[in-house]
């Protein structure tokens, strides 16, 4: 709100100007590829600025590009407000989570093996989050379990009534114990009130 409808094209809001230029170029390519009605309407009706406002442009952005843009934004009150909304007291944790979720999404989208993978983007475990989180935070940050805990945390904030937890517990019940271990699940994970 503070930086206007087209904040995403303001270079002064970004940390790294080279990354900014590449990200805005990628965003423009995604806008140009889009056949969304709202994008076409904007392009027919408005000539200045030629780029649609943020809420339209970022709607057609890939998750990976959105992650890059968010991380490249300067740390300020706006990013802090977003992290606060999710009960995270450190913006870098939210940046890390978005990056990690994007990585997981890409592995799944390309039908990659995920269950016993050592993730290249190590998830950061929050200290003192405002909302319920796992009791045992001594987990492997490069294994799937840690990321699943963070996904559940975000879902609980966005959609408090969701089926992710129940579906995950049910799915893991079908896995051999060795697979649970390979995914980084602690032996007593089901006893944690977070998963009940």
Is the pLDDT confidence value at 134 over 90? yes
Is the pLDDT confidence value at 1 over 90? no
127: which residues sit within 8 A by CB, 6+ positions away?
Answer: 89, 90
Q: Quick one: pLDDT band at residue 33, thresholds 50, 70, 90?
A: very high
Q: Quick one: pLDDT band at residue 179, thresholds 50, 70, 90?
A: very high
Q: Quick one: pLDDT band at residue 176, thresholds 50, 70, 90?
A: confident
pLDDT given for residue 177 in this prediction? 75
Kindly state the tokens that stand for 30: 């995604």
Query: Which single residue is written with the structure tokens 């945390």?
Result: 153
pLDDT in tens, 74-129: 999 999 999 999 999 999 999 999 999 999 999 999 999 999 999 999 999 999 99
Name the β-bridge partners of 14.
73
Mean pLDDT of the chain: 95
pLDDT in tens, 38-70: 999 999 999 888 899 999 999 999 999 999 999
pLDDT given for residue 185 in this prediction? 96
| Residue 72 to residue 66: CA distance in whole angstroms | 10
Kindly state the tokens that stand for 120: 């290249």
Burial 21-32 (b: 16+ CB within 10 A, else e): eebbebbeebbe
pLDDT given for residue 43 in this prediction? 92
Mean pLDDT of all residues in 138-157 = 97
pLDDT given for residue 152 in this prediction? 97
- Give domain limits for the chain: 7-74, 87-195
Q: Quick one: pLDDT band at residue 178, thresholds 50, 70, 90?
A: confident
The alpha helices in the chain, defined as continuous H runs, are 17-33, 37-45, 54-57, 63-72, 77-85, 91-109, 144-158, 164-173, 177-182
pLDDT given for residue 110 in this prediction? 94
Query: Which single residue is written with the structure tokens 């049910």?
Result: 170
């Amino acid at each position: 709100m503070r930086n206007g409808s087209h904040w995403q094209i303001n270079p002064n809001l970004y940390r790294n100007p080279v990354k900014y230029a590449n990200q805005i170029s990628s965003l423009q390519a995604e806008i140009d590829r889009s056949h969304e009605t709202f994008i076409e309407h904007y392009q027919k009706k408005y000539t200045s600025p030629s780029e649609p406002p943020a809420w339209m442009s970022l709607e057609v952005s890939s998750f990976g590009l959105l992650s890059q843009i968010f991380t490249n934004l300067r740390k300020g009150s706006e990013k802090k407000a977003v992290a606060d909304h999710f009960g995270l007291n450190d913006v870098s944790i939210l940046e890390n989570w978005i990056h990690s979720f994007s990585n997981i999404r890409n592995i799944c989208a390309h039908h990659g093996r995920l269950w016993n993978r050592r993730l290249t983007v190590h998830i950061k475990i929050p200290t003192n989050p405002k909302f319920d989180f796992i009791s045992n935070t001594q987990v492997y940050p490069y294994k799937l379990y840690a990321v699943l805990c963070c996904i559940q945390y975000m879902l609980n904030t966005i959609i408090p009534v969701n089926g992710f937890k129940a579906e995950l517990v049910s799915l893991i019940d079908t896995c051999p114990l060795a697979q649970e271990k390979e995914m980084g699940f602690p032996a007593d994970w089901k006893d944690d009130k977070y998963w009940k």
